[in-house]
Structure 1
Amino acid sequence: MSAQLQEQAATQSGFLYNARRQLFQSVPPIPANVRLDGKTVLVTGANVGLGLACTRHFLELGAARLIMAVRSISKGEAAAALFKKEFASAQIDVWQLDMELPSSVQAFAARCKADIPRLHVAVLNAGLGKEFFVRTAEGKQRETTLQVNYLSTVLLAVLLLPLMKPNSSESDKAPGRLTLISSDASLGEKLPAVPAGSTILDTMDDSSKFEGYQQYARTKLMLNMFTAKLASDVVSPSEVIINTCNPGATKGTGAISAVQSKIILAVMTLLFAVLGRTPEDAARAYVHASLVLGAESHGSFTDWLVRCWPLFMYGDKGRRATDRLWDETLAELGFANIVDVLKTVKG
């Protein structure tokens, strides 16, 4: 449905529109008929901030089993211990996942495949913004924000898809629900100009042109682009409904820590203090994206409603950039046989 909202995109990508939306949009309650009884749910970055708040929402909705994917097992177990007291009937598992390391993503996905008969809901929330350029330790040693927010997130999303399709042993044939967390920072962003002979990913990996908050915004734009292509060309909404979700400005998440300008950081800190939602309220957007919105949200950018894509994604230029990014990403993730995985889920 985001694909049909191009005429509104220029307005909705602007700062004033999003400031008004943040200030005046009500945060609706989770509908009373939404339940997760008997369902298995996964949340990445589940021990802090929005991920922790989302985890609580899902447990309150009766999730039978909840996988908390965390970088630090000790911190994850500390968070889970409180939930286990409150939600004694739920099975709560804490599994390690380091999104900086592709090998950790693969190992986590393999563990899911071996241990989870059917994954009904997954919210890929783990993300970050780096103030300075830092490379990861594996493979092509990509810049950390690029690796975590985009490459590892889409790798995990694809590897989980086979587990999320309805299977013949279940009476419930409802589609799986996969939500990837984006940001309204992506709405007015563009990908960088790519020099001749280079690629989008290599251009994003150029330390000489790095600016922390812009890198964050661009990786979230890329996430929207890949998700739209995945939904339109590969996965049927009758099997897995895939969307991205924007929680909006949220207090205490550290999303603006990558801003390098002290003046801009001061202004944004004030705006977040005035306009920012609590993590509990913002995480309801996750619940709506992954449980309330239906097939109309497939491939779309959402909060509590289906919204416009970032303006850059529309038109011939946006489609060409999306196709190019898709091809580059499949090549980059070839070590995980991602093309073969996509063939198994193609609708």
Structure 2
Amino acid sequence: MVRGAPSGDLSGKTVLVVGANVGIGLEASKHFARMQPARLIIACRSEAKGKVALAEIERETGYNGCEPWIVDLANFASVIAFADKFKREGGDLHILVMNAAIALPVYQPTIDGWETILQVNYLATSLLSLLLIPQLVAAGRKSTVPSRMVIVSSGVLYWLTPAKEIETSLKPLETLGSEEWCIPNHMQSRYSESKLLNLFFVRALTDRLRSVTPLSTIAVTPGFCYSQLRRVWYEKPTFSFVKIVLAIHERLLAWTAEQGSRQLIFAAVGGRDDEENMKGGFVSRGRLVEVADFVLSDEGHRMQDTVWNETIDILSGVSDKISPIVRDYLVVPDSSIN
């Protein structure tokens, strides 16, 4: 059963949806538009895609406060430029939804030299999330409720066990991003691994945010939905076993993109009567659920901390704003396993 999307009044608020031009992100943006925020910024990879999404949102909702902005998560410079623009023009940020993701069957490097799925789904997503913390916290301090940072993860985590070489590595991201590691067999689990990293980021960031900081970070799975995420497999001109299996699964099991988007909306505006538990939580089917056993294990917690430290090292080399944000907004977490 898929619960309906929560509704609310977002007047006076600013909402940013990254990855908003198709599928779940577009449908979530429509839900936000119906709540009449002061500003709804939809971040897309190109101006053309942004204009098409804008027209559809306006046509279906009648909302005219939508603004298409451009960002390419496969290019760190584009992410930094986007964050700089938001600092100049965006003002306070009340809701951030990091929905952009990609799934590819083979190794492809970005302009920055990282494997594309790893950069788009995790590194660049984490970079933009961290760079926008000052705007999120500023909004939360002026509001009666904390701001929300929502990062889309996946339910595939319940069936994922990281390879021992990755779990025990001192630099798991470097290993995952290397061309040597990204053989076809390993790439089959890359999307799932990126979604595990998203959940690690949410939980690690929550552990490190000061308790009085008016910001809740939440991970969410939209469920198995029919969307354009898997379009690369359908674009292949020849038939394949994977293509046939995907088509059957989507026809029999998949939710619509609109149904999946309801989970993002709940994570963004729902559960306000349970805010403390929402922080660092994992949303599925319109409620908080327990995360996968590996994430809760000692091994999972150690890997989470290792990934966090490596992430901050990497991103500090990408942007000189990361270290000051970590210094000013985060603290050293309790070392206990929780």
Q: Same fold (TM over 0.5)?
A: yes
1 CA distance for matches of 2:220 and 2:296?
18
2:160 equivalent to 1:176: no
CA distance in 1, matches of 2:141, 2:299: 44
Match of 2:303 in 1: 321
* Aligned amino acid, residue 254 of structure 2: G
Shift of 1:81: 2.4
Corresponding position of 1:52: 26
User: CA shift at 1:271, angstroms?
Assistant: 1.7
> Once the 2 structures are TM-superposed, how far is the Cα of residue 313 of structure 1 from its aligned partner?
1.3
1:96 aligns with 70
- The alpha-carbon deviation at position 166 of structure 1 amounts to 4.2
- Tell which deviates more after alignment, 315-324 or 208-217: 208-217
Match of 1:328, SS state, is helix
Deviations 1:282-316 (A, max 9, x none): 10110001110242121122121112223221222
1:35 positional shift: 1.9
Q: Residues 199 and 346 from structure 1, CA distance in 2 versus in 1: closer, same or farther, beyond 3 angstroms?
A: closer
Q: Percent identity?
A: 28
Which residue pairs with 1:220 in the alignment? 195
Question: Tell me, what secondary structure is at the counterpart of 2:9?
Answer: coil
- SS, match of residue 164 in structure 2: coil
Contact 2:204 2:308 in 1 (8 A): yes
Size of the alignment, in residue pairs?
318
SS at 1:290's partner residue? helix
Seen in structure 2, the aligned counterparts of structure 1 residues 72 and 256 have a Cα distance that, compared at 3 Å, is closer
Q: What are the equivalent positions in structure 2 for 1:327-342 lying under 5 Å apart?
A: 327-335=309-317, 336-337=319-320, 338-342=322-326
270-279 vs 189-198, greater mean Cα deviation: 189-198
CA distance in 2, matches of 1:167, 1:176: 7
Question: After the TM superposition, which of the residue ranges 290-299 and 187-196 deviates more from structure 2?
Answer: 187-196
Match of 1:310 among 292, 309, 328: 292
Q: Tell me how far apart the structure 2 counterparts of residues 95 and 45 of structure 1 sit (CA, whole Å).
A: 10
In structure 2, C-alpha distance between the alignment counterparts of 1:184 and 1:257, rounded to whole Å = 21
Unaligned runs of 5+ in 1: 1-25
| Distance verdict in 2 for CA 1:275–1:159, change over 3 Å | same
Structure 1 segment 95-244 matched on structure 2, within 5 A = 95-138=69-112, 141-167=113-139, 170=142, 172-194=143-165, 199-210=171-182, 211-236=186-211, 239-244=214-219
Tell me how far apart the structure 1 counterparts of residues 128 and 246 of structure 2 sit (CA, whole Å): 31
Which residue of structure 2 lines up, in the alignment, with residue 250 of structure 1?
225
Name the CA shift for 1:128/1:92 in 2 (closer, same or farther; >3 Å): same
The residue matched to 1:207 in structure 2 has which SS? coil
SS in 2 for 1:223: helix
Q: What is the alpha-carbon distance in structure 1 between the residues aligned to residue 212 and residue 18 of structure 2?
A: 22
Report the AA paired with residue 228 of structure 2: T
When normalised by structure 2's length, the TM-score is 0.86
1:88 Cα deviation from its structure 2 partner: 5.3
Q: Which stretch shifts more, 157-166 or 78-87? A: 78-87
2:268 alignment partner in structure 1: 290
Instruction: Give the secondary structure class of the aligned counterpart of 2:85.
Output: helix
Deviations 1:227-248 (A, max 9, x none): 1010112254751111111001
Are 1:300 and 2:284 counterparts?
A: no
**Distance of aligned partners of 1:270 and 1:71 in 2 relative to their CA distance in 1, 3 Å threshold:** same
Task: Summarize deviations over 1:151-209 as a string: whole Å, max 9, x none.
Answer: 00011111111101145984x33211110011112222133333898620122123344
What TM-score comes out, normalization by structure 1 length?
0.84
Q: Which has the higher contact order (CA 8 A, sep 6+)?
A: 1
What is the alpha-carbon distance in structure 1 between the residues aligned to residue 315 and residue 261 of structure 2? 30
Q: 1:68 aligns with which of 6, 18, 42?
A: 42
One-letter amino acid of the counterpart of residue 131, structure 1: P
Letter in 1 for 2:253: L
The offset of 1:264, in angstroms, is 4.7
